Structures are given as C-alpha cells and as structure tokens.
Amino acid sequence: MPTGVALRDPREQLFDAAERILLRAGPSALTSRAVTTEAGCAKGVLHRHFADFDAFLAELVLDRAARVDARAADLRAAAGSGTVAGHLAAALTDLFDSVAVAVVGLVTSRDELRARLRRTLPTGIPVLTQAAAMIASYLAAERDLGRVAADADIDALAPTLIGAAHLLFADRTGPAPEAMAVHKVVATVMAGAVVVP
C-alpha cells in the first residue's frame, strides 16, 4: 500500500486478515508478511501498532475471546424461548463455525503466544474458556426459569458441551458437521438436565 493512504481501522483490518488466513490455511501459514499482504498494507503497519508479531497474535486471540464474551448476553436473553438444546446447538455451531477452532490451534502451536496470554488469561484455553462461561451463564438462566434441573451440574455440563462440539468441528479442512449431529450431541450431554414440560 502506498505511503500516505489511510487504512480504515488498521488493527481490525490486520485482525480480519489474520482470521482469513487462519480459516483458509491454518496457524502454520500465519506470518507477519502473510497478514500484511492479506490486509493489503505495508509490513511496517503491523509493527507500528504492535511491539512484535507475538504481541499482535496475543491481541488477536484476546479480541476473539472478547467477542465470545459479548455473545453471552444474547444467548442468556434467549433463555425461556425455543428449546434449550436448540439454543445450545445454535450457539456451539456459531462458535465453531467461526475462527474458534483455528484460534485453539494457533494458541497450542506457539509457546511464546501461550506465555503472553497467560499474563492476561491465567487459566484455560482462550476462546474455549470464554465459550464455556457463555454456556454456563445460559444454563444458569435456564435453570432459574425452571427449564434446566435445579440439581444440574452446570460447571460440568458447560465444558462437556464445549469439548464435545470441538471434536465435531476440529477438522477445519473437512465438511462442517450437519446440524442434526450437533443437536444430537447437545441432547445427549443434556439428557436428564433439561426439564421436560
């Protein structure tokens, strides 16, 4: 990109470019040169906004984790409508159809990135940890409405749902699982926890 041409929001443009690379080619294809080329800007733009490439990657992961946190309110607001399994299946599909699977691969493949993230997020795997919290808060809202059993172990159900769904979506190069497959996993995990009217 020529000098003097303004970028809309450089950070977001770089994040979006990195996400496209992750989805298309996986974590191993993610380099500073690939990101700036994909974003259509000079390599110096990335280094103007981030101390180094690992700092950029850490901010990317934190940004994507914050987006999961933002979705939690929408999911909680759906409590009391539709079906519990339907809302969970839709939320998990939305989560794993996005960049979540690739972000997990990115975090697990880069030691320096994990070390940086531990300073901000000391436990769990970013994005998946936020997703489990999102699911747990939704299940708590449904429990308060009497649609999930009062004795349901939400703290065990939420990560179980995340792990089971992650396995369905883990092969980013293959076809996405069918909606019925996701719904079946959710229904199986939630069996006995959902109160049938």
CATH number for 14: 1.10.10.60
For residue 123 the two structure tokens come to 């436990």
8 and 75: one domain?
no
Structural domain including 45 reads 1-49
Which positions of the chain have pLDDT values less than 70?
A: 1-8
**196 within a domain of the structure (yes/no):** no
| In a shared domain, residues 14 and 94 | no
Number of domains forming the structure of the chain: 2
In a domain, 31, yes or no: yes
Same domain, 44 and 128: no
Task: Report the pLDDT value the prediction gives residue 33, as an integer from 0 to 100.
Answer: 95
Residue type, 39: A
Q: Which of 77, 80, 46 has the alpha carbon at shortest distance from 60?
A: 46
The answer to whether residues 45 and 84 belong to one domain is no
Is 130 within the bounds of a domain? yes
Instruction: Report d(CA 40, CA 88) in Å as an integer.
Output: 37
The whole-number pLDDT of residue 8 equals 65
27 and 68 belong to one structural domain: no
**Predicted local distance difference test score (pLDDT) of residue 170:** 86
111/167 same-domain check: yes
Could you tell me if 29 and 124 lie in one domain? no
CA trace torsion 145, 147, 151, 154 (10° rounding): -90
Q: Is residue 18 part of a domain?
A: yes
Give pTM, 2 decimals.
0.86
